[in-house]
Amino acid sequence: MEQSLVQGMTSQAAFDGQPANLVTLQNSHGMQVVLMDIGATWLSCQVSLAEGAREVLLGVNTMADFIAHQSFLGVTVGRYANRIAKGRFSIDGQDYQVSTNQAGNTLHGGVEGFDKRRWSIESQSVSAVTFSLVSDDGDQGFPGKVNAAVTYTLTDDNQVVIGYKAITDKTTPVNLTNHAYFNLMGAESGADCREHRLMIAADRYLPTNDVGIPHGELKAVEGTGFDFREAKLVAQDIMSDEDQIPAKGYDHSYLFDTKRDPEAPVAVVTSPDGRITLSVFTDKPAMQLYTGNWLEGTPNRSGGTYFDYAGLALETQFLPDSPNHPEWEQPSCFLKLGEEYAYQTVYQFDC
């Protein structure tokens, strides 16, 4: 772990007045990831190449920058990732109003989502760490007490495995994901994520309005710029669809086929130089592709700021505003007493 990262993230107190705790995982190939208990955050991901390590995850080096930025770099987001229209939904005829924090809607759990909490370190080893969090009944307006856990594992196959679990004592929507931004040329390289090649194994995407709320039905990707079923440059069709204009690029969810091969990747990203390929595997029903369209001004690790399209996020999750759309072909986003929320996403790096 770089000493500057340790010092920068621990020399200043976090939200609760105490320093953060950092955990480093390393495998036999020299790959290294750094995690933090604040936000159960994936801070760093260094992939080992012949000439040395390449940092492929956008991030910051100081707690001050972590607190200041609003781009959710590498954090675990919840209780409900993505957006809920006007922060409203109903359960068994009872209406709920939860915290709104973006254009009158709820984004990533509200004003004080899971990314702004100190998670407990339940266990750790050379290759894995588990963070846990208790979200009380009424937290940000959500019903039910939720006990959540996120486990990060680094394997000797250069896989970062993220396992999510949660239970509740009352029916409530739960949707946990990681908001890592990837730039496989190097986070501080100045490379543009639109020059990466991308494949997404999905036939449908979800159109949204100018504030990211779904409108209408899922739409076929065929014949649109949202079609990534065959790998292509992200730049090839960006801004070519009316649906992309308000978002300034891709910031949309893709729904996977329920009958897909669970052993096949849902997304594959290749660096412009061809040195690193990232394959994503998940049992989540959908994934949000976000091409970093509004990253301008977000602090980086070198004392400067990132620019728009500096990295792309591949957020595995339920579709946005799912609490208000039971008709969509995916498992229910409502977790009930006696059930367990249990999902896994794998980011595999080949070089």
Give percent of the chain with pLDDT exceeding 90: 96
Catalytic residue among 55, 252, 315, 325: 315
**Positive/negative CA dihedral, 13, 117, 214, 73:** positive
Q: How many whole angstroms separate alpha carbon 325 and alpha carbon 338? A: 23
Q: Say if residues 328 and 218 touch (Cβ distance below 8 Å).
A: yes
Q: How many whole angstroms separate alpha carbon 255 and alpha carbon 245? A: 21
Q: How many whole angstroms separate alpha carbon 176 and alpha carbon 302? A: 30
Instruction: State the pLDDT confidence band at 216, using cuts at 50, 70 and 90.
Output: confident
pTM greater than 0.95: yes
Has residue 108 been placed in a domain?
A: yes
For 28, residues 6+ apart whose C-beta sits below 8 A from its C-beta are 156
Has residue 308 been placed in a domain?
A: yes
Has residue 266 been placed in a domain?
A: no
Residue 321's domain comprises: 3-191+295-350
Query: Which run of H or of E encompasses 122?
Result: strand 120-124
Q: How many whole angstroms separate alpha carbon 292 and alpha carbon 13? A: 28
Hey, what are 176's tokens?
């946990």
pLDDT 10s digits, 311-325: 999 999 999 999 999
Mean pLDDT of 222-237: 98
**For the chain, what's the residue count?**
351
Q: How many CB atoms lie within 10 A of CB 48?
A: 17
Q: By C-alpha distance, which of 105, 103, 102 is closest to 88?
A: 105
Q: How many whole angstroms separate alpha carbon 117 and alpha carbon 128? A: 20
Hey, what are 188's tokens?
């501080």
Mean pLDDT of 115-133: 97
Has residue 152 been placed in a domain?
A: yes
Q: How many whole angstroms separate alpha carbon 312 and alpha carbon 270? A: 12
Has residue 172 been placed in a domain?
A: yes
Hey, what are 336's tokens?
């009930």
Mean pLDDT taken over the chain: 96
Position 207 pLDDT exceeds 70: yes
Q: How many whole angstroms separate alpha carbon 213 and alpha carbon 109? A: 15
Position 57 pLDDT exceeds 80: yes
Q: What dihedral do alpha carbons 117, 118, 120, 126 form, nearest 10°?
A: 110
Catalytic residue among 69, 108, 179, 252: 179
pLDDT 10s digits, 253-299: 999 999 899 899 999 999 999 999 999 999 999 999 999 999 999 99
- pLDDT (0 to 100) of residue 164: 98
The bridge status of strand 286-290 relative to strand 251-255 is: antiparallel
Mean pLDDT of 195-210: 97
Q: How many whole angstroms separate alpha carbon 62 and alpha carbon 235? A: 32
Has residue 204 been placed in a domain?
A: no
Has residue 167 been placed in a domain?
A: yes
Instruction: State the pLDDT confidence band at 1, using cuts at 50, 70 and 90.
Output: very low
Hey, what are 204's tokens?
């449908």
User: Tokens 């504030």 label which residue?
Assistant: 211
Instruction: State the total domains in the chain.
Output: 1
Q: How would you classify residue 211: left for phi > 0, otherwise alpha for psi between -120 and 50, otherwise beta?
A: alpha
Burial readout 236-259 (b: 16 or more C-beta within 10 A, e: otherwise)? ebbeebebbeebebbbbbbbbeee
Q: How many whole angstroms separate alpha carbon 192 and alpha carbon 186? A: 10
pLDDT 10s digits, 67-87: 999 999 999 999 999 999 999
Query: For the domain that residue 73 is a member of, what is the CATH number?
Result: 2.70.98.10
Hey, what are 303's tokens?
């004392």
Distances 309 to 16, 182, 201, 228, 260 between C-alpha atoms, Å: 32, 10, 22, 18, 30
Cross-strand partners of 96:
89
Q: How many CB atoms lie within 10 A of CB 332?
A: 14
Q: Determine whether 55 is an active site residue.
A: no
Has residue 127 been placed in a domain?
A: yes
Query: Which run of H or of E encompasses 6?
Result: helix 3-10
